[in-house]
A and B are shown apart, each in its own frame.
Chain A
Amino acid sequence: MNITLSITTTIYEFLLEYMSEGAANIGAMITIALIYLAIFAVAGLYLVLLERKIAAWFQLRLGPNRVGPWGLLQTMADALKLVSKELTGTVKADKFLYNLAPYFVIVSSLMALAVFPFTKEFQAFDINIGIFFLIAISSIGVIGILLGGWASNNKFALIGAMRSGVQTISYELSVGLSLITMVLITGSLQLSEIVEIQKNGWLIVQGHIPAIIAFMIYMIAGTAETNRAPFDMVEAESELGAGFHTEYSGMKFAYFFLAEFINMFIIAAIATTVFFGGWLSPFGITESIPWLGVFWFMGKTLLIVFLMMWFRWTFPRLRVDQLLTLEWKYLLPLNLLNIVLMAIIVWLNLTIQL
């Protein structure tokens, strides 16, 4: 089977036959963006369905099973319903910021998807500061949440937004530092190169003890970054109603909702790329069939997504001060020590190379 995986070049060369070089470049970018948007909007919807199904299995229920076979069209129907709903808002809301907020959130999560290598060459945008780009872009989302909470002119939304600000700013440190721990081994921020290096063993094996610590910190902080339980202070249904998106309805609410799930996918995808060898198959068993990399990548990512859903449906929620204690008193010092440990291991060449 001969599938062209380098999508950017393929589309660019196709367009080059019809137009000038500059126009083809822009045309290729727009086409790729549209393809990604379409794929991940649908993927986000199916993550919602997956979550609902998994929640149902945890909770002795059946989950959605009425719309389509096994409820496969349920979230599609929900999305259609949300699109057709009236957009309501508060009278005293700051209209401009109120309308702007959902786009910040959804755009930042969709932009992050551009840099992931789904398999060799199947990558929209291979920049040499991939990790840095991911950390930077994921911080934009919180601006949307803060804006939304502030502009809704609702106190519950405001408390939710402020909690979100506090939480994201704190846990971003841990996400960044745990990724930097791994960058010490790879020596590169470019995601495609990070995956290439893992042909000698996934980084969680190469970096052994500090890598496992870094992975655990990353998972805790990553769950907190996506504002999911046990760190869902932002929504905290039993405390704040719906938190920052209390006053949003219809498609604007759907943007927030979808962004949460795409963010979860992103956190899992980063973990896959940085710790578990990205699109590489275990022991190179399917190396001869390059397009299978997509399945390995998605498989590993969905496994981590499942782990995060498992957290959500099992653990109680932390209190806001306990949340900050965990980060500033435990995770951050541990993380800094871990970096030193990793540096020593890399310096003394103690990494495991398979």
Chain B
Amino acid sequence: MDTTTVTNFKSEEYFINMGPQHPATHGVLRLLLTIDGEIIKKVEPDLGYIHRSIEKMCERDSYQQIVHLTDRMDYLSSHINNEAVCLTVENALELEVPERVKVIRTIIGELTRIASHCLWWGVLGMDVGALTTYFYGFRDREMINDIFEETCGARLTMNYNIPGGLMFDIHPNFVQRTKDFVTHFKTKIPEYDKLLTGNVIFQKRMKGVGILSKEDAISFGASGPVGRGSGYSCDVRKHHPYSALDKVIFNEALKTEGDSLARYEVRIQEMWESLSIIEQLIDNIPEGEHKVATKAVIKLPKGEFYQKVETARGELGVFINSTGTKNPYRLKFRSPGFSNLSLLNHIAVGGKIGDLVASMATLDIVVPDIDR
């Protein structure tokens, strides 16, 4: 630890390194905690343990190759990350993709969101001490991964999107298996509620903890369920629809309490909404090509291009500055986790160590997304 971070230490306070290897930090995140007994006085997230310089690598690679790098950012929303880059490139080329591609992209995107929320739910349970939730969440996520495996050939880092469409057409079983999953999962969300949501200890751990006001949510740049838990309507799918999201009817999950429980309920609500989106689209997948032909070497016109999408964690923005060559001059990702993590100090100070862990779990951070 460098000495600059330990200024103004009171004698009763002490310093703890939480991470980079710690069960609650979900990866290699290091938190510098200043603690007085059990009470958190200051939290400083320290990043850089899993930095792979993805943005710099993007400047070296062609636009088709860049898509594959984005899987490794927020690996739980890999499909949506791919989609973000593909949409940016397609917009820049003014390429109109077939309706079929748009619908399939949206369905798989929503399945990804459910899978990500399943994992989040299981891990949140573990963070507050209920170890069984983990396996229930993974049981349902496994079904989605099986669907992905059949259609995309991979379970986690799918690489299903390419600029101009999809890598290949959906598997013949895809529609049936997705329908089966929707039926199955509709009976499982109430089970989640029974096991965890209604539990009195869980309610006590979550209610009124880690409060984030709407003003703070906006000024910290919070997005996704974190922002919506504070009453900040920030769903990109609603405000700037992309792919087939303008054709479906769904509600934006909003809560105004701003505490951990609100963020929890927003995500549970989002799972229902995602199911409803899938149900609306799965029976009406239009016939047609699964991609449009692009040139082998894609050259973007000179200029700046930006596209944002809603990943499971919030708003992911892709900014491409092109000079007209086959590589971007500069590519910048606006990752949702980075902004969401920045408010950890704000919501955790004054709470106990247990509150810090619970609040961090409801921020749903994925460290490789923050530390690209």
Interface residues of A (CB under 8 A from B): 55, 58-61, 155-156, 159, 229-230, 232, 236-241, 313-322
Contact = CB atoms under 8 A, between A and B. Distances in A.
B325 to A, nearest CB: 48
The 6 closest A-B pairs by CB, nearest first: A317-B129, A59-B135, A316-B130, A316-B128, A319-B354, A238-B24
Interface in B131-171: 131-132, 134-136, 139
A229 B352 contact: no
A321 to B, nearest CB: 6
Contact of A59 (B132, B199, B201): B132
Nearest to A233: B354
Nearest to B16: A155
A319 B205 contact: yes
B354 A320 contact: yes
A317 B354 contact: yes
Given A159-B38, A313-B131, A318 B24 contact: no
Given A156-B16, A320-B354, A239 B24 contact: yes
A262 to B, nearest CB: 22
B353 A159 contact: yes
A159 B125 CA distance: 22
A287 to B, nearest CB: 41
A322 B129 contact: no
Contacts of A58: 132
B352 A319 contact: yes
Contacts of A313: 131-132
A331 to B, nearest CB: 15
A230 B16 CA distance: 25
Contacts of B23: 237-238, 241
8 contacts: A59-B131, A159-B38, A236-B354, A238-B126, A238-B357, A313-B132, A317-B205, A320-B354
Given A59-B134, A236-B354, A318-B204, 8 more contacts: A59-B135, A61-B135, A238-B23, A238-B24, A239-B353, A315-B199, A316-B202, A317-B129
A317 B133 CA distance: 13
Contacts of A60: 135-136, 139
Nearest to A166: B38
Contacts of A315: 129-130, 199, 201
B135 A230 contact: no
Contacts of A159: 38, 353
Contacts of B352: 319-321
B127 interface: yes
Contacts, number: 81
Contacts of B355: 319
Contacts of A319: 204-205, 352, 354-355
Contacts of B188: none
B14 interface: yes
A314 B132 contact: yes
B186 interface: no
A156 B131 CA distance: 21
A61 B131 CA distance: 13
Contact of A230 (B22, B127, B196, B201): B201
A317 B132 contact: no
Contacts of B136: 59-60
B135 A229 contact: no
Interface of B: 14, 16, 22-24, 38, 125-132, 134-136, 139, 195-196, 199, 201-202, 204-205, 352-355, 357
A250 to B, nearest CB: 20
A230 B300 CA distance: 57
Most chain A CB neighbours (cut-off 10 Å) among B128, B196, B199, B352 = B128
B126 to A, nearest CB: 6
Contacts of B135: 59-61
B139 to A, nearest CB: 6
A314 B199 CA distance: 10
Given A60-B135, A230-B201, A316 B125 contact: yes
A239 B131 CA distance: 14
Contacts of B132: 55, 58-59, 313-314
Contact of A238 (B16, B129, B195, B204): B129
Nearest to A156: B16
B131 A230 contact: no
Contacts of B195: 314
A316 B139 contact: no
A1 B150 CA distance: 64
Contacts of A314: 130, 132, 195
A316 B129 contact: yes
A316 B16 contact: no
Contact of B204 (A61, A155, A322): A322
A63 to B, nearest CB: 12
A318 B201 contact: yes
B199 A316 contact: yes
Nearest to A312: B131
B283 to A, nearest CB: 31
A241 B204 CA distance: 23
Contacts of B22: 241
A275 B134 CA distance: 35
A319 B206 CA distance: 10
A320 B24 CA distance: 17
A122 B138 CA distance: 48
B277 to A, nearest CB: 28
Contacts of A239: 24, 353-354, 357
A145 B135 CA distance: 31
B130 A232 contact: no
A68 B129 CA distance: 31
Nearest to B134: A59
A315 B23 CA distance: 19
Contacts of A156: 16
Contacts of A320: 38, 352-354
A230 to B, nearest CB: 6
Contacts of A59: 131-132, 134-136
Contacts of A55: 131-132
A21 to B, nearest CB: 55
Nearest to A232: B129
A317 B125 CA distance: 9
Contacts of B130: 314-317
Given A60-B139, A241-B22, A315-B199, A236 B129 contact: yes
A316 B196 contact: yes
A317 B204 CA distance: 10
Nearest to B130: A316
A236 B134 CA distance: 16
Contacts of B139: 60
